[in-house]
């Protein structure tokens, strides 16, 4: 029993003293858990998205446009969005282009008249605001006749082209833009229900018996037709509205494209961190010490050893790019994506170089590499959509190649030009220089 206890204690001590194993066992799952909590909340009423800035341009003079706007200020939406009414369309679009806000919702000038032509004509011909009628409302015979006329005239307008509500979205606010679209869709459903209910009430009013000699067979036929058609429309009609989602780049968010590139970057990290262990293996085999006694600079040896890792990584990403493109994933303009790959892979390999230069054994390098890859992917958006993470997590992820890589590829997927992505490519190159500088210090310290 004592021998069993000694052997068990020895294994525990070896585990506790191995930094790589501790990082893999404890730090990695804890870090991923914290990131997931930051992205999705801790339970209860917590929400990862709030105060999404959205601009509302209501050009409609009728009640329907105001109803749609009021949805954004309702208690049901709460603090999810921060709406702002605007009047200048050009200035509002410019704010979206500058990524100052998530989206701009544009309600056209003829929205009420085309969505519910009966309402506009009833107000014009009969002087009745149909949005305020109830089942207890009593119409005069004259109003009934005029309401029937308004209804028949409105039937001629129902075949007109649908009205377009535009959501002009920023490519940098992908998840937030989807939330805005959902709110607009919900608002249109509410309008549909309100219009159906109003039609049903008006139908009942139209068939109510009149108490005036003004009634006639002609009116009875008109009211009967009104009741039948309005009642039928209340059950089956869809709003003549097209919800048009656009962006300054012309491309919309794609889950397939996002996760194709995110997973490619994550497994690139696994590959380059594992490939960097060759330095430690060569030291153990004695080939590296013999190489170091030659007049070859340490930086040349380090870059030479990592060159094969970089070339393998470039090939890996190119193969994944081509394979996922076949099934419909869009990574961006080909030349821009190729340039991005040539920047991303050296940056990722810098992490492998640091681990190889500072780790004490191949086993420790493997454990640390896996841990760094998982933590970096969690922070950078490899497991959840990057733009659903809190801003502080997005900024913190920029110490990892994954954060820069997913940001760069995400912008290319959103249709941004190479000019707009160049600052991000420059940032990744600067991080690469930092990584290799740190690796060179560790390389000289450990191998020389």
**Euclidean distance between CA atoms 248 and 52, whole angstroms:** 18
As a whole number of angstroms, the distance between CA 364 and CA 269 comes to: 16
Q: Could you read off the pLDDT tens digit of each residue along the chain, which spans 448 residues?
A: 554 455 445 545 655 566 655 565 556 555 655 665 565 554 444 445 678 899 999 998 877 888 889 999 988 888 888 999 999 999 999 998 888 898 999 999 888 777 776 666 666 666 666 666 665 666 667 766 666 666 656 655 554 567 888 899 887 787 788 888 889 888 888 887 777 766 666 666 555 544 444 444 444 444 444 444 444 443 334 556 667 777 766 677 777 888 888 888 988 888 888 765 666 666 665 566 665 556 666 666 666 667 777 888 888 899 899 888 888 889 999 999 999 999 999 999 899 888 888 877 777 778 888 888 888 998 998 888 887 787 788 889 999 999 999 999 998 988 888 898 999 999 999 999 999 899 888 877 765 5
Domains of the chain, residue spans = 15-42+254-447, 52-247
Distance CA 44, CA 135 (A): 41
């Amino acid at each position: 029993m004592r021998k069993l206890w000694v052997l068990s204690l020895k294994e525990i001590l070896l585990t506790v003293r191995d930094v790589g194993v501790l990082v893999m066992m404890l730090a990695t799952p804890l870090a991923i858990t914290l990131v997931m909590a930051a992205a999705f909340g801790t339970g209860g009423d917590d929400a990862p998205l709030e105060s999404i800035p959205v601009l509302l341009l209501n050009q409609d003079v009728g009640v329907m446009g105001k109803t749609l706007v009021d949805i954004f200020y309702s208690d049901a939406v709460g603090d999810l969005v921060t709406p702002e009414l605007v009047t200048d369309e050009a200035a509002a679009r410019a704010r979206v282009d500058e990524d100052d806000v998530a989206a701009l919702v544009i309600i056209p000038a003829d929205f009420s008249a085309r969505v519910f032509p009966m309402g506009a004509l009833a107000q014009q011909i009969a002087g009745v605001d149909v949005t305020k009628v109830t089942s207890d409302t009593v119409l005069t015979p004259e109003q009934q006749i005029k309401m029937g006329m308004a209804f028949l005239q409105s039937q001629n307008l129902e075949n007109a082209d649908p009205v377009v509500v535009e959501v002009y979205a920023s490519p940098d606010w992908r998840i937030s833009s989807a939330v805005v679209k959902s709110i607009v869709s919900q608002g249109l459903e509410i309008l549909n229900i309100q219009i159906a209910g109003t039609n049903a009430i008006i139908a009942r009013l139209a068939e109510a018996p009149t108490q005036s000699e003004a009634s006639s067979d002609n009116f009875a036929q008109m009211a009967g037709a009104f009741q039948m058609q309005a009642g039928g429309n209340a059950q089956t009609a869809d709003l003549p509205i097209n919800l048009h989602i656009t962006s300054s780049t012309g491309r919309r968010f794609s889950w397939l494209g996002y996760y194709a590139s995110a997973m490619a970057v994550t497994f690139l990290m696994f590959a380059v961190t594992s490939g960097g262990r060759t330095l430690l293996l060569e030291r153990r085999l004695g080939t590296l010490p013999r190489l170091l006694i030659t007049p070859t600079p340490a930086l040349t040896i380090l870059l030479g050893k990592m060159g094969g890792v970089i070339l393998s990584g470039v090939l890996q990403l190119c193969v994944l790019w081509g394979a996922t493109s076949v099934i419909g994933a869009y990574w961006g303009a080909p030349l821009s994506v190729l340039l991005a790959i040539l920047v991303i892979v050296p940056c990722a390999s810098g992490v492998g170089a640091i681990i190889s230069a500072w780790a004490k054994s191949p086993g420790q390098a493997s454990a640390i590499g896996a841990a760094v890859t998982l933590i970096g992917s969690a922070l950078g958006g490899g497991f959840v959509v990057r733009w659903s993470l809190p801003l502080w997590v997005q900024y913190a992820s920029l110490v990892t190649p994954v954060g820069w890589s997913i940001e760069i590829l995400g912008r290319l997927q959103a249709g941004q030009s190479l000019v707009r992505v160049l600052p991000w490519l420059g940032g990744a190159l600067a991080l690469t220089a930092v990584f290799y500088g740190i690796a060179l210090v560790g390389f000289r310290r450990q191998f020389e």
